[in-house]
Structure 1
Amino acid sequence: MGIDDIVNQGKKLYADNKDQVDGFLRSDQAEQVSDQVFDTAADLAKKIAPDQHDATVDEFRDKADRAVGNEK
């Protein structure tokens, strides 16, 4: 089984369960988990990148957060 097979299986799994996946991505639980993950990733990026990029990191974090969970 190659990488293409795995990708195609993932696409099929998503297509077969799209409503459930989309529902979860808009749930309170997804919001809580995504906040923690995005905050941790942003903090790490700020430690690695020069301080002048902190605003950009925050901007990307906020865009990603709006895509997952129920907060708009």
Structure 2
Amino acid sequence: MSMLDKIKGMLKGHEDQARKGVDKAGDMVDQKTQGKYSGQVDQVQDKLNDQIGRSDQQ
């Protein structure tokens, strides 16, 4: 079992809270870097939210 599978298992049923955490963390990074890396932060947020939302059956 990979680390990603373990994390997905822990988040099961709490996807909305996890998405809020990802958004909050991204906003904090944007604030600390004064928006210098906002494009990259947005890409990472999108990828993480996709991973959170994906079902185990791909």
Q: TM-score by structure 1 length?
A: 0.53
User: Please, which runs of 5 or more residues in structure 2 have no aligned partner?
Assistant: none
- Tell me the SS of whatever aligns to 2:46: helix
Aligned to 1:55: 39
- Kindly indicate whether residue 35 of structure 2 is the aligned counterpart of residue 35 of structure 1: no
Q: Which residue of 2 aligns with 1:66?
A: 50
Select the residue among 4, 24, 29 that pairs with 1:45: 29
Question: What is the Cα deviation at residue 54 of structure 1?
Answer: 0.5
Shift of 1:35: 1.5
- Specify the structure having the higher radius of gyration (Cα): 1
Residue pair 1:31, 1:68 contacting (<8 A) in 2 also: yes
Quote the RMSD (CA, aligned, Å). 2.8
For 2:37 and 2:48, locate their aligned partners in 1 and report how far apart those are by CA, in whole Å.
17
Deviation, 1:53, is 0.7
The number of residue pairs the alignment matches comes to 50
Runs of 5+ consecutive residues of structure 1 not aligned to the other structure? 1-10
Runs in 1 of length 4+ with deviation above 3 angstroms? none
